[in-house]
Chain A
Amino acid sequence: MAEPLFEVTDLHLSLPDLNAKPLFGPAPRIEILRGISLAIARGEVLGIVGGSGSGKSTLGRAMLRLLEPTAGRIRFEGADITHLPEAALRPLRARMQLIFQDPMSSLNPRRRVAGLIGGPLRLQGFDRVEDRVARALDHVGLPRAFAARYPHELSGGQRQRIGIARAIALEPDFILADEIVSGLDVSSQAQVLNLLAGLVRDLGLTLAFISHDLAVIRRLCARVIVLQAGRIVEEAPTDRLFAAPQAAYTRELLDAIPLPDPDQPWG
C-alpha cells in the first residue's frame, strides 16, 4: 500500500473531569481515547462507528488538531502534525476539512451563504472566490441564488449541504464528516448521503465518515472501524463486517439496525 494520507499511531486523549475536581489539586482525568491506531489511504472512504461516548467525535477532532492528544502521533502525508503550532498548521487547514454534525451551530448566523463558503476561501488565499462559491453550490445541488441567504432561511438538509459546500470549496485532500446526517430526517439523510457518494466518486475525495448508524456507513464506506470506549474493537472491509462481524460489540450495533424484515440476515 502506498503511503497513507492520514496516519494515527497509538493516540491517547484524556480530559480533566472538572465535576470530580477536589478543592485543591488537579482534577482526575477521563480517558477518552486509549491508544487508537489507524491509517487512511488516499481516495479511501473510511467509516468510523461506535455508540455515544465511544470517542469517535473526539478522535475526529483530535485528528484535525482541534483537541490536543495526550500521547501518540498524527501524520498527514507523512509529516508529523501532532505538535505543530497553530500558525504552522494554518496553510494545511485548507487541505483537511471538517463537516460538522449540527449545521445550525456550525454556520455563523450572521453571515450569508456567500460569506460562509467564501470566507475560508479568502482566508486561504484562493482567487476567483465568487466563481468557486458558485461552483461549490452547483456541486451540492443548491441554486446559486442561495449565496445571498442567511442560514436560518434554509432547511436542515440545505444547511448541511452548505456545510459540505464549504468543505469541498477548499478542494481539500481529506474530509472528515462528523455525524453529518444524524440531525436530518430520513429523506434529507438519503439526499445528503447520495450527494456525498457522488462527490466521493467525482472528486476523488478521501473521506472519514463518523456515524453511530451502521446502515448509513454501509451505504458509503469501503472499510469500517468500530470504536468502543476509546479502543478499536474491530476493523474490516464493510462487506465482511456486515457478513461476519467478529467483535461482540459490532454484533450489538448490527442488531440495533431496524430491518424491513427481521428474519432476513444482512446479505
Chain B
Amino acid sequence: MADARLARRDVGLRLRLAGGWLAVLAAVALLAPWIAPHDPLAQDLMLGRLPPFWLDGAEPGYWLGTDSLGRDVLSRMIWGARIALFVALVAGVLTCVIGATLGLVAGYFRGWPDMIVSRLVDIWMAFPPVLFSILLVAVIGPGLLAIILAIVVIDWTRFARVIRAEAMTQGAMDYVASARVAGRGRASTLWAEILPNVLPTIVVLLTLEMGIAVIVEAILSFVNLSISTDDPTWGGMIAEGRTSIHQAWWVLVFPLTALFLTVLAFSQLGEGLKDRFDPVLR
C-alpha cells in the first residue's frame, strides 16, 4: 500500500517537473521577440567569445556569453527553442496521426489493409533512417518544412508498428465481440471501443516522438542540413560550439543542456500521462 502511494506521488512529481520545463520552454519560445536580450543574428566581433556572467571578463547584458562571432548565446537559445518546439509539435502530431491511423486500420481490419501497411513498413524500415533523412532534405532542399517532412516520412513506421500490434491485441478482446453483438458497426467499434484503449500508448509514443523530433532537428542542423546556418538552432549552436570547445565551452554546453532537458521532459511527460490516463491505475 505504502509503495503504491509512493509510486503515485512520484508520478505527480515527474509530470509536474516535465510539464513545468516544457511550459517554461513554450512560454520562452512564444515570447522570444520580447524577452531575448539581443538580436540572435547580430554579430559583433569586438564582443566575441565573452564568457557567461559569473566568470571574469563577462560583459553585462550577455548572460550566457557570446560565440566566436559575438552573437548572444542566450538570445540564440531562446530563438532556437522556438524552432525546436515548432518542429516537435508539428512533426510529432503529423507523424502520430498518419502512423496511428494506418496502425489502427491494419491491426483492426487485418486482411488486405494489414498486408499493405505491414509490407510498406517492412520496406520502409529497410532504409537506414539517418541516410534517408539526409537524402530527403538534399532532394527537397534545406528548410524547416524539409525537416518536418523528413521526420514524418521516416518515423510514421514507429507508430504504425506499435499501434498495429496494440490494435490487434485489443481487437481480440471480448469487448470488441460484444460491441458486435450489440450491433455496432466496424468503423464505429474502432473509433469508440478500441481507440480509447489504445490512446495511452498513442500519447506515450507522441511525446517520445516529440523528443525524437527535437533530436532529429538538432542532428540535421548539426550536419548543416537544417535551415540556414545563420538561423539560431540548438543543433547548429552545438555544431559551432564543438569547434571552439577549448576557447568557449559555453557555446556548446548551454544548448546541449537545453536539448537534453527537453528530450528528457518529453519522455517523462509521456510516462506520467500514461499513468494518469489509465483508469485502472488511477
| B182 interface hit (Cβ, 8 Å) | yes
Size class of the A contact interface (CB-based, 8 Å): 20 to 34
Contact B178–A91 (Cβ < 8 Å):
no
Which residues 163-218 of B have a CB within 8 angstroms of A? Answer: 173-175, 177-186, 193, 196-197
Interface centre among A89, A110, A124 (most CB of B within 10 A): A110
Contact A152–B177 (Cβ < 8 Å):
no
> What is the CA–CA distance of A97 and B178 in the complex, to the nearest angstrom?
9
Interface centre among B174, B184, B280 (most CB of A within 10 A): B174
Contact B181–A98 (Cβ < 8 Å):
yes
Please indicate the chain B residues that have their CB under 8 angstroms from the CB of A76 in the complex. none
- Indicate which residue in A101, A109, A124 contacts B183 across the interface (CB closer than 8 Å): A124
Contact B196–A124 (Cβ < 8 Å):
no
Contact B182–A123 (Cβ < 8 Å):
yes
Contact A109–B178 (Cβ < 8 Å):
no
Nearest chain A CB to B234 CB, angstrom units = 38
Contact A152–B175 (Cβ < 8 Å):
no
| B279 interface hit (Cβ, 8 Å) | yes
Size class of the B contact interface (CB-based, 8 Å): 10 to 19
Please indicate the chain A residues that have their CB under 8 angstroms from the CB of B279 in the complex. 109-110, 150, 152
Contact B180–A66 (Cβ < 8 Å):
yes
Determine the residue in chain B with the shortest Cβ distance to A94.
B183
Determine the residue in chain A with the shortest Cβ distance to B176.
A108
Please indicate the chain B residues that have their CB under 8 angstroms from the CB of A91 in the complex. 183
Nearest chain B CB to A94 CB, angstrom units = 7
- Indicate which residue in B179, B181, B197 contacts A110 across the interface (CB closer than 8 Å): B197
Contact B193–A108 (Cβ < 8 Å):
yes
Binary A-proximity of B45-71 (CB < 8 A = 1, otherwise 0): 000000000000000000000000000
Q: List 6 A-B pairs, Cβ < 8 Å.
A: A91-B183, A100-B178, A107-B175, A108-B175, A109-B197, A110-B279
Q: Which 9 interchain pairs have the tightest Cβ spacing?
A: A120-B182, A93-B183, A106-B174, A90-B183, A108-B175, A110-B196, A105-B174, A100-B174, A105-B173
- Known contacts A107-B175, A109-B279; 14 additional CB pairs below 8 A are A64-B181, A90-B185, A93-B182, A98-B177, A100-B174, A106-B173, A106-B175, A107-B178, A108-B197, A110-B197, A120-B183, A123-B182, A123-B184, A152-B280
